[in-house]
């Protein structure tokens, strides 16, 4: 089976939806706070067992997989026909959506990593010398926001892939008209 734009789009979308689901479940399973257990000069925060940290990291992993697949799908030589990157970036709409996609992916990674690592720190460093500690958890809503941005990111990768497909067609049409790929690339610059 050869790699096609349709197969790549299915891979990107599937990985993005899985990332979204893990992020939403991580947000919903996160406890509101822990239970403070006072001791002699310390407070130990006991948190209920929950899969928030594991689901948060899984969401990040699937987002990264979706983004890597999306990035490589843009520049992959489908049907063994290579297109120079300059020809793809000649398309203004492709360039704009490519940059929006990179920004959205970075923001999604940030909003997924930050609360996941914070929650992990709260769970592992649960002994406090401040007797008034409230046994907090990570900020509410960040994981959910990161999950939705993860889904947005995969959708933007799909739009960028569609625009890359259009730019590829334009490039090959120019080659047919001019008869030379070097000439077509020079004219596209």
37-48 per-position pLDDT tens digit: 888 888 888 888
Average pLDDT, the chain: 88
Report d(CA 74, CA 160) in Å as an integer.
Answer: 7
Residue of 185 and 141 predicted with greater confidence: 141
Confidence of residue 187 (pLDDT cuts 50, 70, 90): low
Does 145 score more than 90 pLDDT?
yes
CB-CB contact of 126 with 45 (8 Å): yes
Confidence of residue 146 (pLDDT cuts 50, 70, 90): very high
Confidence of residue 186 (pLDDT cuts 50, 70, 90): low
User: How many percent of the chain have pLDDT more than 90?
Assistant: 50
Confidence of residue 150 (pLDDT cuts 50, 70, 90): very high
DSSP secondary structure of the chain: ----HHHHHHHHHHHHHHHHHHHHHHHHHS-S--EEEE-SS-EEEE-----HHHHHHHHHHHHHHHHHHHHHHHH--GGG----HHHHHTSHHHHHHHHHHHHHHHHHHHHHHHHHHHHHHHHH--EES-TT-----SPTTHHHHHHHHHHHHHHHHHHHHHHHHHHHHHHHHHHHHHS-HHHHHHHH-
pLDDT 10s digits, 77-94: 888 888 888 888 988 999
Strand partners, 128: 43
Task: State the pLDDT at residue 138.
Answer: 80
Does 67 score more than 60 pLDDT?
yes
Report d(CA 23, CA 1) in Å as an integer.
Answer: 32
Instruction: Provide the whole-model pTM.
Output: 0.87
Does 160 score more than 70 pLDDT?
yes
């Amino acid at each position: 089976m050869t790699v096609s734009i349709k197969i790549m789009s299915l891979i990107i979308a599937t990985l993005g939806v899985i990332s979204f689901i893990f992020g939403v479940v991580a947000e919903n399973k996160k406890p509101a706070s822990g239970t403070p257990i006072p001791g002699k000069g310390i407070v130990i925060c006991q948190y209920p067992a929950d899969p928030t940290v594991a689901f948060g990291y899984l969401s990040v992993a699937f987002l990264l997989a979706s983004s890597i697949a999306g990035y490589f799908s843009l520049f992959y030589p489908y049907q063994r026909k290579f297109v120079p990157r300059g020809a793809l970036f000649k398309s203004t709409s492709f360039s704009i959506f490519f940059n929006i996609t990179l920004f959205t992916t970075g923001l999604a990674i940030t909003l997924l990593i930050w609360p996941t690592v914070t929650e992990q720190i709260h769970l592992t460093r649960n002994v406090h010398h401040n007797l008034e500690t409230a046994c907090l958890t990570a900020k509410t809503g960040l994981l959910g926001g990161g999950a939705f941005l993860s889904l947005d990111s995969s959708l933007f990768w799909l739009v960028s892939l569609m625009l890359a497909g259009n730019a590829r067609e334009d490039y090959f049409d120019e080659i047919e008209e001019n008869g030379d790929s070097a000439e077509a690339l020079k004219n596209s610059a």
